[in-house]
Amino acid sequence: MADALSEASDLSGGEESQDEDVLTPPELIARLEEAWLNEKFSPELLENKSELVECVMEQLTHMEENLQRVKKGDLKASIHRMEIDRIRFVLSSFLRSRLQKIEKFFPHVLEKEKSRADGDPSFLSPEEFAFAKEYLANTEVYLKAVALRHMPPNLQSVDMLKAVPEPCLDSFVFLRVKERQENILVEPETDDQRMLVAIKHGEAQKPSSYTSCFIQELLQMIYSII
């Protein structure tokens, strides 16, 4: 898919930016696929990738414009059209996974976003934050209209943080190592237990409870156990 993205973006011979900080099309799609898998298999909402999403959408727009200039009936253009559709599927699936988690854990997601320190990466894009707030408001209005207003006065309020289940951070996931690291502290089951492990590049790890921050930096999730 990455190779097709690179070729399709150049079908018309369009000029590309020479800025060394700009990702190549294969690098861009590789990052999208990694973000997609991590989000899909993580039990909690991960850091938002709004810049990555914008770059992919801009690249897809550029590819669409290039394909418009190709002669009709060109087999190569048809193949690249199929690859563009596949990339759109990955992008849509990534965004859909995030929205599903926001809908499922909306009060906890909002609380986590509001409590983060200044300078810390945001877990929600501006659009996702607006969606989560609107979803919370609509849920509260609906509950009051269909249930709470019919209850005794002392029961006409609900704590959403207690009413909505939190993400299960004890879920197991399989991980693939991106960088070799030494002396990684594994969370002990008791205060008396401490375990340091070394992880090798390309190695597949057994189910573990690494933090999402550590996963995004050094590991890639490849399978989850619910």
Distance separating alpha carbons of residues 69 and 165, to the nearest angstrom: 51
Q: What is the pLDDT of residues 176-190, one digit of tens each?
A: 777 776 666 666 555
**Domain residue ranges of the chain, discontinuous segments joined by +:** 1-104, 105-166, 172-225
Q: What is the pLDDT of residues 85-98, one digit of tens each?
A: 999 999 999 999 99
Residue with token string 């070799």? 180
As its CATH architecture, domain 105-166 has Up-down Bundle (1.20)
Do 1-104 and 105-166 come out as alike in CATH topology? yes
Q: Which two tokens stand for residue 29?
A: 């799609």
| CATH 3.30.9.10 at 172-225, yes or no | no
Strand ranges for 28-73 from DSSP E: none
Amino acid at 89: F
Distance separating alpha carbons of residues 8 and 17, to the nearest angstrom: 16
Residue count (the chain):
226
As its CATH architecture, domain 1-104 has Up-down Bundle (1.20)
Q: Are 28 and 86 in contact (CB under 8 A)?
A: no
The model's pTM is 0.74
Bridge pairing between strands 172-177 and 219-225: antiparallel
Q: What is the pLDDT of residues 101-147, one digit of tens each?
A: 999 999 999 999 988 888 888 899 999 999 999 999 999 999 999 99
